[in-house]
Chain A
Amino acid sequence: GNSVTQMEGPVTLSEEAFLTINCTYTATGYPSLFWYVQYPGEGLQLLLKATKADDKGSNKGFEATYRKETTSFHLEKGSVQVSDSAVYFCALNGAGSYQLTFGKGTKLSVIP
């Protein structure tokens, strides 16, 4: 079946530091890949997505590139802010599927 593995947190960074959160996946066919973000006390929000190999999703300074050869979709941001503190989830839906498979989530704390 499908699965998503992302780096365990928590991750604590200073403001303006570089962020990488690793995500790898297992799926048959050609899944679509997503990063969702969950701020404290809220539901998940889509941060970015990529639907085919070599696509780069980007939003709010975050980027992730769909790497089929390494089955990865790592999240990066060049300079984090305190307001980026949240839990980040990597997810996929398999070809022909409407179900999302989520990773366990990575909690990011950014300190001033």
Chain B
Amino acid sequence: GAGVSQTPSNKVTEKGKYVELRCDPISGHTALYWYRQSLGQGPEFLIYFQGTGAADDSGLPNDRFFAVRPEGSVSTLKIQRTERGDSAVYLCASSLNTGNEQFFGPGTRLTVL
């Protein structure tokens, strides 16, 4: 079956612009996670959803970052007033339920010029 998909695969934007990154989880998976991986680093946790609600958003670095999952399936990570330091690969993962094995998407590579 289809795995986790993320769009776009690459996004180049200018400093100060707004971007949206999309994640389509595996059908039926109730838990969805966003992570960020900077070059040469391990991924770091941003936010996780159980259903439609953000169960833990403690990893979001500041209020420029926001994520939604209005129908409990697709999620969008939104970044306002992008900064060069936001450049990274943004990874999405989903799991059947909280605590189950997580399946990762291919990531969106964001470059802020």
Q: Do A and B bind each other?
A: no
On A, residues with C-beta under 8 Å from B are none
